[in-house]
Amino acid sequence: MDARLRQALARAEEVAHQLADPGLSKDPARLKSLGREHARFIPIVRAAERLSKAEREFAEAREAANADDPELVSMAKEDLARLPDEITALHAELRSLLLPRDPHDDRDVIVELRAGTGGDEAGLFAAELLRLYTRFAERHGLSVEPIAIHEGTLGGIKEAVVAIRGTGAYGLLRHESGVHRVQRVPATETQGRIHTSAATVAILPEAEEVDVKIDAADLRIDVFRSSGPGGQSVNTTDSAVRITHLPTGIVVSQQDQKSQLQNKLKGMEVLRARILDRMISEQEAARSATRRAMVGTGDRSGKIRTYNFPQSRVTDHRVNLSVHNLADVMDGKIEQFVAALRAAAQQDDESN
């Protein structure tokens, strides 16, 4: 660990020095990248400082334990009893902080939610998942920006695309990708039967132009008239945009903004995120089978979590974790799952 810590502290100092360069303001992309890296090093630097202080105090206490002053000896013995546990805890904290991190963990994310099997009930569940992630983001100091919301019936949604922004957003949410299943008695069920419905969640790291180079010649852009809520321009102007990335076949439609230009900009934002997600998925496919089995790779084809309302139980099938506080989970309190999935991923990293 000592070598990794020295490297991390040296890099932290180098990043701080680069951020102090006034000329960096001319390169916003690099400024943003260095800012993310700096934020990642802050807890490492602080933990290292606390460890250095504790070790220094321990050395001083050992020396003071042999002094002639009884009061000084008494204080030294208290420190000698207290500091070893503190030093051990700080070593453990640093080992965790120094584990290899995914370079995308500090990015903002694009969250795509879609109603799956289950009709109106699936749409209602998708809307509840949107609220869940919004509440979770707010509690962690992240901001939520709607990009496109396609409403369904009975207050549900067919599809929602939102950006969640803030340091560490992707690292917090990356393992939420997959099929989320709900088991409950729908409000429209007259005979009290439990139905099973599903919604899919896709967590995409937000891509910047420097990450994904898109040639204009590789795009087909079609415009059409918006439909649904949206103001006076709806159904009167060709403001909606459909962007097709020809090399990958990825298609993005955007109509929630007021102008064609705004829809195109938002559509390109989602397109870059989807392309980057595909690139990451291809890289993940080549990684260990252990990790894929343990935490998944974001493949939306696999059921990852079940929300059982009659039993007030939520089960994550990747780490075999069940909790019986469904109301809290639906209010966005999913930290137990986030921590368990991160721990599983870290354990796999250490074993490889």
**Predicted pLDDT of residue 52:** 93
**Predicted pLDDT of residue 351:** 57
Contact 108, 211 (CB under 8 A): no
What ranges do the domains of the chain cover?
Answer: 2-97, 109-206+287-351, 216-281
Bin 244: left if φ > 0, else alpha if -120 < ψ < 50, else beta.
beta
CATH 1.20.58 fits 2-97, yes or no: yes
pTM for the full predicted model: 0.67
**Predicted pLDDT of residue 292:** 42
Which of 162, 166, 164 has the alpha carbon at shortest distance from 256? 162
Contact 242, 211 (CB under 8 A): no
CATH 3.30.160.20 fits 216-281, yes or no: yes
Tell me how far apart the alpha carbons of residues 292 and 157 are, in angstroms, rounded to a whole number: 30
CATH class belonging to 109-206+287-351 = alpha beta
Tell me how far apart the alpha carbons of residues 237 and 227 are, in angstroms, rounded to a whole number: 10
Per-residue pLDDT in tens (0 to 9) along the chain, 352 residues:
688 888 889 999 999 999 999 888 888 878 888 887 888 889 899 999 999 999 999 999 999 888 888 888 899 899 999 999 999 989 888 887 787 677 778 889 999 999 998 889 999 999 999 999 999 999 999 999 999 899 988 889 999 999 999 888 998 999 999 999 999 998 767 777 889 999 999 999 887 766 678 888 999 999 887 765 444 444 456 788 999 999 999 999 988 888 888 898 898 989 998 998 888 777 666 544 433 443 344 344 568 999 999 999 999 999 999 999 999 999 999 999 998 888 887 776 555 5
Contact 200, 319 (CB under 8 A): no
CATH fold match for the domains 2-97 and 216-281: no
Tell me how far apart the alpha carbons of residues 121 and 123 are, in angstroms, rounded to a whole number: 5
**Predicted pLDDT of residue 280:** 79
**Which two structure tokens, joined as six digits, stand for 86?**
């503190």
